[in-house]
Structure 1
Amino acid sequence: MLKIKNARVIVTSPGRNFVTLKIETEDGLTGLGDATLNGRELSVVSYLTEHVIPCLIGRDAHQIEDIWQYLYKGAYWRRGPVTMSAIAAVDMALWDIKAKAANMPLYQLLGGASRKGVMVYGHANGENVEQTLEEAQKYKAMGYKAIRLQSGVPGLASTYGVSKDKMFYEPADNDLPTENIWSTPQYMNSVPKLFQAARDALGWDVHLLHDVHHRLTPIEAGRLGRDLEPYRLFWLEDATPAENQEAFRLIRQHTTTPLAVGEIFNTIWDCKDLIQNQLIDYIRATVVHAGGITHLRRIASFADLYQVKTGCHGATDLSPVCMAAALHFGLSVPNFGVQEYMRHTAETDAVFPHAYSFADGYMHPGEAPGLGVDIDEGLAEKYPYARAYLPVNRLQDGTMFNW
């Protein structure tokens, strides 16, 4: 038995907020789990501190599946981003401990490597097509095999995915929500022009991706997907809000552009119909928001039955702890597709020293036991929590819309 002696939550903000759970066993082993929920961080802190941690003390850290079921079924109130982020943090930390106890990197404990490295994609963005392609050339020169393209929309003051800081885009930008203005017709007119120019400038030996960010109706998404077919996108992400999984059937009827969705999904139930009806090509659920490694493996195994691949969310609100977990997961699962990789700042990397690395378009979690990530608690204390919200969207007539 590897008895849990203590667990506590560490909140730090080295450029943005992170919530980290640290579990300690009586044998002196420690494990880290990411519990960051962008814009709602303190909700998860409270859930962990007040409701979850008291239930962990004295339990056997080796019983990962049983503890997962206990926290999911035992709470009665299931699912939701707060609950599942808290469970994910516990799950990550316990896998970290188990792999350290076995003295092996986590991916070995998950069945070993299924590939030499994890292909990642970077984010190229600009206020116009020319700036976006200039950034894309930089990523291509760095060795990236896959690049997401986002560009400003003529006539709109701001657009999702476009930022002043190109390498370290952080959407949670204000201590109260920033309000953006949106126009679907202007957007629909601009995107095909971006990808036509991109193929002319970048060629055909790099994968190109695009994020709609839930802003189209199914029929609008079908039209955009069809318009983009000549440019052979790797995927079109979050084309429409996915609460209604059946909506993707209408998109499928109108385009062969591959579809990806799921970064805000919490459980397998959010994507069950999408996967079994083969309405998507990539599932983007992530370790921290979908209940940890234990549950994400379940989603991936189910998806593999229907030839749906993984494409896990990897924005800067996932700490290096979660990025490491995603890389161990991605290296091990047979139906891996691609991993999003938004580079953390030097300040964040200093707080979370890690073993993972990037080279020639691929990442590897490294060979350190466990997740291969630590936290410098003394340095973390120097970066106190700072409230930050994600933006909101309104249409040009003032109607509240999807951000």
Structure 2
Amino acid sequence: MDTITAADVVVTSPGRNYVSLKITTSDGVVGWGDATLNGRELAVASYLRDHVAPLLIGRDAARIEDTWQYLYRGAYWRRGPVTMTAIGAVDVALWDIKGKTCGQPVYQLLGGAVRDRILSYTHASGWEVSQLLDAIDEKRALGFRAIRAQSGVPGLDTVYGVTKSGSYEPAGRGTAPDEEVWDTEAYLRHAPVAMAAAREHAGPELKLLHDAHHRLTPIQAARLGKALEPVDLYWLEDVTPAENQEVLRRIRQHTTVPLAIGEVFSTIWEFQQLITEQLIDFVRAAVSHAGGISHLRRIAALAEVWQVRLAPHGPSDVSPVAMGAALHLGLATPNHAIQEYMGHPELAGEVFRHAWSYADGHLHPGDAPGIGVEVDEAAAARFPYQPAYLPVARRRDGSVTDW
């Protein structure tokens, strides 16, 4: 029996903060998992280091599902992003070990490939519509066939996903989050105009996506979806906070635009109603935040029954380890649709060496045994953690609204 002898947490900030879990076995096999939770990184690091790592020592590294059940069902306090990200890190690291032990890439252990490559989408943004169109052209020149388009809003100085400088990094360095002013009505007037311009410019073949980022009420979301129907979006993402899941019924009554939701969800229970009532079309959970490969695989299986597709969250704060895990799952999952791919800071390449690759609008996990991502701990030590927070959004009257 190959038992777990060590479980170590590595916190590093090569361009942004990442938390990685290193599990070592008695046979000397090392597995890596991603435990990054943007803006709450140290909470997960502590959860792992102080509460989970001691429980792993001596356990059979091959018993992935039993370890998942032990960490989830065996704890009185279940669910939540901190807990599920910690469990996800353990799960991915154990799958990495399993693949290395068997000498196979993880996707082969999940039943083998059901596709040759994974369609990916990236982000294009511009403060002015003309700048957005130029950004779309730049991404298409890199081979992308699917693009999330975001633009500035007249009358506002800051907008989620867009900056006047052209750079994009939501998490600002510092001891407190930045605060942005938001105007929903201005956004609702402008978004259909910007998306219509993007469609006219790009033509009918480009898969065009847009993210409202939880800022709308159900009737506002219905209004936006109806206005965007002529644009033929691939999806409209996070139109409203989905904790109250019944509100999605109202949106469905008013628009046929496909809906994608779930990047802030962490368990199958948060998706259950959305999937079984077909209130969404795409599941957006990240492999690292939703309990790892084992749990996201179960969410995908439930979704397949209801003709809902998997499209994992993949921003720059999901580390290359999590990206590799998502790609292995995607290559072996029949109802996988598309993978978000923002890329990572250049410095991250010095810490995370990965076998997965991008080419011509598609991703592939590679055929290295395990997940195919290794962490250079010496390089990681050169980039200490720096406090960083996602911004807080306030309406014009000063009241806080959803991020």
TM-score of the two chains, using structure 2 as the length reference = 0.99
1:171 match: 170
> How far apart in 2 are the matches of 1:109 and 1:91?
14
Q: Percent identity?
A: 59
1:337 match: 337
1:233 match: 233
2:380 match: 380
Q: Report the Cα offset of residue 165 of structure 1.
A: 6.8
- 1:10-58: CA deviation from partner (whole Å, max 9, x where unpaired): 0000010000000000001100000000000000011001100000000
Q: Map of 1:235-384 to 2, 5 A cutoff? A: 235-384=235-384
> How far apart in 2 are the matches of 1:67 and 1:254?
44
Tell me the amino acid that sits aligned with residue 140 of structure 1: R
> How far apart in 2 are the matches of 1:227 and 1:132?
19
Q: Map of 1:23-172 to 2, 5 A cutoff? A: 23-163=23-163, 169-172=168-171
> How far apart in 2 are the matches of 1:198 and 1:383?
39
- 1:194-227: CA deviation from partner (whole Å, max 9, x where unpaired): 1111121110111000000000001110110010
> How far apart in 1 are the matches of 2:131 and 2:295?
39
1:3 match: 3
CA contact (8 A) 1:169 1:316 kept: no
Q: How many residue pairs end up in the alignment?
A: 402
Q: Report the Cα offset of residue 311 of structure 1.
A: 1.1
Q: Report the Cα offset of residue 350 of structure 1.
A: 1.6
Tell me the amino acid that sits aligned with residue 300 of structure 1: A
- 1:303-358: CA deviation from partner (whole Å, max 9, x where unpaired): 00000001110001100000000111111100011110011122101210101111
Secondary structure of the residue that 1:53 maps to in structure 2? helix
Q: Report the Cα offset of residue 164 of structure 1.
A: 5.8
> How far apart in 2 are the matches of 1:117 and 1:2?
33
Q: Give the superposed CA RMSD.
A: 0.9
1:194 match: 194
Secondary structure of the residue that 1:16 maps to in structure 2? coil
> How far apart in 2 are the matches of 1:392 and 1:165?
20
Structure 1 gaps, min length 5 = none
Tell me the amino acid that sits aligned with residue 170 of structure 1: E
Secondary structure of the residue that 1:209 maps to in structure 2? strand
Q: Report the Cα offset of residue 75 of structure 1.
A: 1.1
> How far apart in 2 are the matches of 1:310 and 1:76?
29
Q: Report the Cα offset of residue 282 of structure 1.
A: 0.2
> How far apart in 2 are the matches of 1:133 and 1:2?
54
> How far apart in 2 are the matches of 1:400 and 1:174?
21
> How far apart in 1 are the matches of 2:81 and 2:163?
26
Tell me the amino acid that sits aligned with residue 202 of structure 2: L
Q: Report the Cα offset of residue 2 of structure 1.
A: 1.5
Return structure 1 stretches of 4+ with deviation > 3 angstroms: 163-166
CA contact (8 A) 2:152 2:163 kept: no
> How far apart in 1 are the matches of 2:286 and 2:345?
21
Secondary structure of the residue that 2:31 maps to in structure 1? strand
CA contact (8 A) 2:173 2:386 kept: no
